[in-house]
Structure 1
């Protein structure tokens, strides 16, 4: 399907954006706000992976699962949960949130802000040139006066193991667009996608086995993976850590798949989902025409300009620069880079120093992430190990959530844990991690504290409303103060 636009071969734009997902849309919006003309090229659905196969559908599917789990944690409400989830209703809810995979609304948004939308496969064709090939084979060449921004995202990375093609494994796309509940589902990978998919499909009625080479969600504090593993196990998931898949067999395309594990055992499942990382969607976008390696992650500076390309015109935003494969992080980069593109186009000086308007400083210091498992796991900034490795002198403050009455009112016998990582020399937060029901709502306050480098002396004056889960802040800060007064009892 092509979109109407009044353009001609070689028509110049100020900015060309490859990819119309949330990241691409944000850089389009900021460039248009700067008064620049913009063309955006999309080869799949306008709205990208996040809108149709990742963040939006997964959270739409997970919410009913978590809502029932929350109800079961409250006396009086638990007795009202008398049956299983209505899977047809859950899938219908998902379908509404992904607009039945119809992107016309998002396409209208792109055009409403004054950008020209080109549907087709966009490839760089030398400096500041992009060739768009439509589904019917017709081609059009666009040129950019100031910038080309790559926001093509990433794809699932499947391991090279015998039988993987025969097994026809699920990826995150199958895990979020399927409307059939497999009786037995094997999930390979213990990162964020793996634990969310395990939470989701176990809640929908699958018997789930989760296989991980090492501890779950390894980029978070160790206790996060331990508590999530405990929660999954209590929900009925068979969590197996320290194993790898060495081969797959599925001789009957409609039959079960057999996984051979490196410990010599075998596991049979009706479907297998691989959540084993991502690879950049840059293999066929013409990187070689500007001296870059096709299929590579793209290194960028603080304004998201691609390293190794002369002329300050090529930007890489979101997953493709591999800084943090998170939609909100990519949108932050896009807003910052879009403003930098506007400043460069107008000949204005850049504010690209730390925390400047044109610097993606948060990439290194204050990236928040949430996994909507049960319990939820949320973190921002540095873990204790990362802070130590970076040479910071730190104090660690750990606390169980049952110290806060608001948490106990939220869920009977609330189980969760919180950690602050404090820079002792400046007395500011370097990182925070929360694990427990509903803790995702605590993360933005922690992000503000980390990004704003709020002194703990000042942070103690931020009054937590009673009785809420956020009371944990009061107890964490009080524990830090006690540690300062009695350092022999503190963790460093």
Structure 2
């Protein structure tokens, strides 16, 4: 091992996923010298093992499902998907797990890139150990931004390592559909991957410990998706836990708490995430390795003047779009502090993150899609708001044209004292593109009296807004 003298920057970013890239982009645009450290691929989890590959797998599955609802087209799409072609397109979206283009982008914005494992080595100091064992020490004049994301958590089952289970990484990067796939979990990853691989030719068995899918959304979201998965041929079992998993002569054998034996070719555990902070040197600055890092609304770690934790590792909202939003805020806050400027921009409010408080949008790309923003009815009631849920089915002119036998549901949660929306949920094919209108209504605290004058175009699925408002008025 060799060691070089320390290299000084204004900002050092740990992690080059979408969050780290956006922090670096903002600080460099503000004129601050910036270095980025990444131990894997520039572009991070989202680009190679999450958002992009999963949606590339799902898009043909959902398009085929939509096409099968259209007379004149349905007969032409009854056969199986070309799984190899879908996988090849997915591979293209991940650049075949090569990050040359992302590195070129970093070079283009004049950010120095260090490939290797980065660890804090005291205040404002990052030690990087490269693939060849060479060590470099980077110091930060103003800030270190930790953007290392999360990793999949596997349950504590004896012998599980020998089974070689899938996590989200294997599920999104597999080169062929297993004949039989067991998916354990009831959240977003489990739901989307069950949808994808069932559509790509696997026989999926979905084991859900709780009462249903997507328990952080309105209950009807999980119910409608479970119904659709069952109709597609998946075996959805709720209230079921895994007692043991073994691999016998290449076959995965699962024993459930009901005493059932399930055989499969692969098993995916989508049972939670943990912060990737166990080996980034937190102990050298008085923090607990492996912990989530609490932050203020500028994304600065509580009690620190120089350490920022941006994206999933602060546990505010484990979503790529929220992490990128936080990155823009953090970059602006770091730059403002470095220049001695006020934190709150009078026009944009760009130096303080508020979107993580009660107005987080999310889309689950299943069939049907589920999209939500803000609080569910249960969350609003638990928070002490006096609310009313307004429900309507999604059978409007636009959805009827979208596809025959369209099934869906919409809910808005109304704060009865202020007559604004605290949350909105849509479930149905194609509703992911509706959620930004709901996000604007919730974030902007638009009074219902004003929403009456936001006229939805006819005939679109957005016409459901009019039906929700009519239901609120008439009941």
The TM-score, its normalising length taken from structure 1, stands at: 0.94
Aligned equivalents of 1:167, 1:436: Cα separation in 2: 37
User: In the TM superposition, what are the counterparts of 1:17-96 in structure 2 within 5 Å?
Assistant: 17-96=13-92
- Alignment check: 8 A CA contact 1:64 1:90 kept: yes
Q: Aligned ranges for residues 219-258 of structure 1 at < 5 Å?
A: 219-252=216-249, 255-258=250-253
> Are residues 1:99 and 2:119 paired?
no
Aligned equivalent of 1:461: 453
> Could you report, residue by residue, the CA deviation over 1:408-466 in whole angstroms, capped at 9, with x for unpaired residues?
11011210000000111111110000100000000111111111111111111111111
Question: Residue 439 of structure 2: which of 441, 447, 451 is its match?
Answer: 447
Q: Does 1:416 align with 2:413?
A: no
123, 128, 133: which one aligns with 1:132: 128
Q: Name the residue aligned to 1:301.
A: 296
**Shift in Å at residue 352 of structure 1?**
8.5
Match of 2:394 among 390, 401, 409: 401
**In the TM superposition, what is the alpha-carbon distance from 1:190 to its structure 2 partner?**
0.6
Could you give the per-residue CA deviations for residues 22-71 of structure 1, whole angstroms, max 9, x where no partner exists?
A: 00011111111211110000110000000001000000111011111000
Match 1:476 to one of 456, 462, 468: 468
The whole-number CA distance in structure 2 between the counterparts of 1:361 and 1:482 is 34
For the aligned residue pairs, the C-alpha RMSD in angstroms reads 1.4
Cα deviation for residue 130 of structure 1 reads 0.2
2:274 matched residue in structure 1: 279
CA apart distance, 1:391: 1.0
Residues 457-489 of structure 1 show CA distances to partners (whole Å, capped at 9, x for unaligned) of 111111111111111111111111113xxxxxx
Query: For the Cα contact (< 8 Å) 2:125–2:138, is it kept in 1?
Result: yes
**Distance in 2, Cα, partners of 1:323 & 1:61:** 28
Please give the alpha-carbon distance, in whole angstroms, between the structure 1 residues aligned to 2:388 and 2:109: 48
1:12 to partner: Cα distance: 1.1
Find the aligned partners of 1:466 and 1:368 in 2 and give their Cα distance: 25
Deviations 1:151-208 (A, max 9, x none): 0011000000122112110011110111111110000001000000000000011000
- Matching residue of 2:198: 202
**Alignment partner, residue 376 of structure 2:** 383
* Count of aligned positions: 472
Q: Distance in 1 between matches of 2:158 and 2:242?
A: 10
2:159 and 2:119 map into 1 onto residues whose CA distance is 33
Partner of 1:289: 284
Partners of 1:172 and 1:274 in 2: CA distance: 8
Instruction: Render the CA deviation track for 1:359-407: whole Å, top value 9, x for unaligned.
Output: 21111121001110001011000000111111111111000011x1111
The offset of 1:82, in angstroms, is 3.9
Rounded to whole Å, the distance in 1 between the matches of 2:292 and 2:437 is 32
Within-5 A mapping of 1:265-344 = 265-309=260-304, 312-344=305-337
C-alpha distance in 1, partners of 2:361/2:128? 35
| Distance change (3 Å), C-alpha of 1:407 and 1:334 | same
Change (3 A) 1:452 1:209: same
Output the TM-score relative to the length of structure 2: 0.98
Task: Tell me how far apart the structure 2 counterparts of residues 448 and 37 of structure 1 sit (CA, whole Å).
Answer: 35
Deviation per residue, 1:241-295 (Å, 9 max, x gap) = 001101111143xx11111111111111110000001011111000000000111
Match of 1:145 among 135, 141, 146: 141
Q: Distance in 2 between matches of 1:120 and 1:341?
A: 24
Q: Which residue of 2 aligns with 1:486?
A: none
Residues in 1 aligned to 2:471 and 2:30: alpha-carbon distance in whole angstroms: 47
Residues 226-245 of structure 1 deviation map (CA, whole Å, 9 limit, x = unaligned): 11111111111100000110
Task: Measure, in 2, the Cα distance between the counterparts of 1:479 and 1:218.
Answer: 26
Match of 1:3 in 2: none
2:357 is paired with a residue whose SS is helix
- Is contact 1:166–1:251 with CA below 8 Å preserved after alignment? no
In structure 1, stretches of 5+ residues that fail to align are 1-6, 484-492
Instruction: Indicate if the aligned counterparts of 1:302 and 1:352 stay in contact, CA closer than 8 A.
Output: no
What secondary structure is seen at the aligned counterpart in 2 of 1:330? helix
Matched, 1:117 2:109: no
Hey, what's the Cα distance between the residues in 2 that align with 1:8 and 1:339?
A: 31
3-state SS of 1:463 partner: coil
Residue aligned with 2:356, SS: helix
| Structure 1 residue 20 displacement after superposition | 0.5
Does structure 2 conserve the Cα–Cα contact (< 8 Å) formed by 1:208 and 1:237? Answer: yes
Structure 1 runs of 4+ aligned residues shifted over 2 Å read none
**Helix, strand or coil for the counterpart of 1:370?**
strand
Q: How far, CA to CA, are the matches of 2:448 and 2:336 in structure 1?
A: 36
Q: Which runs of 5+ in 2 are unaligned?
A: none
Asked if the contact 1:21–1:50 (Cα under 8 Å) also holds between the matched residues in 2, the reply is: yes
